[in-house]
Amino acid sequence: MSDPKSKYVVLAAVDLREGSPLVLSRAIELASMHEVGEVHVIAVNEPSPAVVVPPMVPTAEQLAAPDPARLADFARSHLDDFKQRVKSARLPAVEVHTALGYAPDEIVWLAAHVDADLIVLGTHGRKGLKRLLLGSVAEKVVRLAGCPVMVVREKQHHADWRVPEIEPVCPDCAKVRASTGGQQLWCERHSVSHVRAHVYHMGDRGAATSGSLMHSDGT
């Protein structure tokens, strides 16, 4: 565990769209837990393939880095908001950076340059053709970064982002876990037959168990 008195640098990667406030708020919160906290905020303008492929002619705005003044205002407002919400917290130093280029490379390069201890960024949950063309900045940063990466998003995902196979917790299972203090994980129905064949439970949760051990083939 790192020394809370040592300098702790958090890099927050934002795009000034939906999700960016949560990213910056979490970065400020984490940096404030250390006696010497520092937050670097980066916004990268990454032209899409539709912009750079001829015969499309990109606009000056599409080929320019994000407005640093706008990014500074964004960072300042969230720092002020954090100060109002947590009056006793230590305020980290905040610096802003803008860049034009391939977002994962720019984010990871800056993280190395400022010796970041943590990168915080969001994800837009792109699917299909958009994911094929644009890829996922978050997953590429996770692969390239030389420090831990935290990917944040709102707990209630947008309906369009949902993966059909991923469903909320079964209400009956939730009641069983609450009533048994976690000693039992599954309701009567799911303790006998679970939708996921690879799901099993074994471990020291007391005398009670959630059912028999199932192998990866569901047997």
Helix, strand, or coil (residue 70): helix
Structure confidence at residue 156 (pLDDT): 65
- Spatial strand order of the sheet with 7-14 comes to 93-100, 36-45, 7-14, 118-122, 149-152
CA dihedral 107, 113, 118, 120 (to 10 degrees): -20
Please report which helix (H) or strand (E) contains residue 96, including its range.
strand 93-100
pLDDT for position 136: 80
Question: Is residue 88 very low, low, confident or very high in pLDDT (cuts 50, 70, 90)?
Answer: confident
The number of helix segments (H) and strand segments (E) in the chain equals: 8, 5
pLDDT at 87: 84
Whether 29 shows a pLDDT value over 70: the answer reads: yes
The percent of residues above 70 in pLDDT, for the chain, comes to: 67
Fold of 7-161: Rossmann fold (3.40.50)
Confirm whether pTM is higher than 0.75: no
4-18, 107-121, 151-165, range with the lowest pLDDT: 151-165
Domain locations in the chain?
7-161, 167-219
Q: Which residue has the higher pLDDT, 186 or 113?
A: 113
Q: Are 70 and 39 in contact (CB under 8 A)?
A: no
Q: Which span out of 54-58, 156-160, 189-193 was modeled with the highest average pLDDT?
A: 189-193
Q: Are 183 and 206 in contact (CB under 8 A)?
A: yes
